[in-house]
Amino acid sequence: MRRALVNPSVAPERVGPPGGVEVLTFHRSLPGYAPTGLRPLPGEAEALGLGELWLKDENGRFGLPAFKITGASWALERLLASRPGVRSVWAASEGNHGRAVARAAAQRGLAARIFLPAATSEARAAAIAAEGAEVVRVPGDYEDAVAAAAQAEREPGAATVADVAYDESDPVPHWVSDGYSTIFAEAAEQADAPFDVVLCQIGVGALASAAIRFACHQDPRAIVIGVEPATAACAMASLAAGRPVVIDTPGTSMAGLNCATPSHAAWPALRDGLTGCVAISDDESHTAMRDLSAMGIVAGDSGAASLAAVRALVRDPECAELARRAGLGPASRVLLVSTEGATDPDAYATTLERT
């Protein structure tokens, strides 16, 4: 696998601003709001030769085991303001986004229909159905599910709440990404000093776009490194090509990151704001999951990917140039995001049992 890539066209000065203060204010107004924890990892920082290592733990966000509700709730707020006649919402998902859209829709008294790729686990599908949504299995992969969900625009009173766009002018994925800005605004409030480096999972790039806009407008500016599965490193391939490309995705246990191409809504931020990307294996993610569990942190495959990535960045010679560009060292303050808890409880338990 290609281990790391230094972005040849990084230009952080071109990155747009983060989501406004109104996003955080909106989330704080919702029932059940509480900031998720910013967890110090001093033992890991010492082992890696870093100054400080912090983990923003998104397990338990609004009672859900993943960060996605921040984007879904804000996007739905904006969507209903612009289209008050909407009565049902559709979305494509590998699990977490679909559950978040289903929850946000139910809170607004709306119907939800969630389209899942064939390989999505039964546990994730059941969790979405438990939120009151209709679950539709789509033959094929995530991109096929996205295509199926897009048909909502043809039905009266229906709209898609997508976190991916293949048309950059579509406002909804931008609103989703803006919703994720709450994660980083909280982290900035919780920290006692600015971060030097942020590692963020890519997937289609909506969360990474929010991380980049936060980091590039922090004072002083922070470096952002993308994290991807080795079998679904679409941002890495796109950065190398200088444009969004579609890759084959044979599969990964990091279901939320199993994406074949970046969102065109996120691409400008990825192109201009990522210093580079690092790719990790499923086994590395599983090791990180077990180690985080020993620290009292529940992180699923995609959530633990950021810890696996910073380990690779520091220890693997193939990542040395990217680590140098990031300035990683004994004075570095590094922010990781654990994007999910045990979103598939059976798979999580099986991973923890393995050695």
**Per-position pLDDT tens, the chain of length 355:** 689 999 999 999 999 999 989 999 999 999 999 999 999 999 999 999 999 999 999 999 999 999 999 999 999 999 999 999 999 999 999 889 999 999 999 999 999 999 999 989 999 999 999 999 999 999 999 889 999 999 887 899 999 999 998 888 899 999 999 999 999 999 999 999 999 999 999 999 999 999 999 999 999 999 999 999 999 999 999 999 999 999 999 999 999 999 999 999 999 999 999 999 999 999 999 999 999 999 999 999 999 999 999 999 999 999 999 999 999 999 999 999 999 999 999 999 999 997 6
Kindly list the distances between the CA atom of residue 218 and the CA atoms of 35, 207, 346, in Å, as whole numbers in the listed order. Answer: 20, 17, 39
Sign, CA dihedral 86-205-56-20, equals negative
Residue with tokens 């991973």: 351
Q: How far apart are the two ends of the chain, measured CA to CA in Å?
A: 23
Structure token pair of residue 280? 């990790």
This model's pTM is above 0.85? yes
**Dihedral of the alpha carbons of 59, 184, 329, 192, in degrees to the nearest 10:** -100
Domains of the chain: 4-67+173-353 (3.40.50.1100), 69-162 (3.40.50.1100)
Buried/exposed 145-158: b ≥16 CB within 10 Å, e otherwise: bbebbbebeeeeeb
**Residue 338 β-bridge partners:** 57
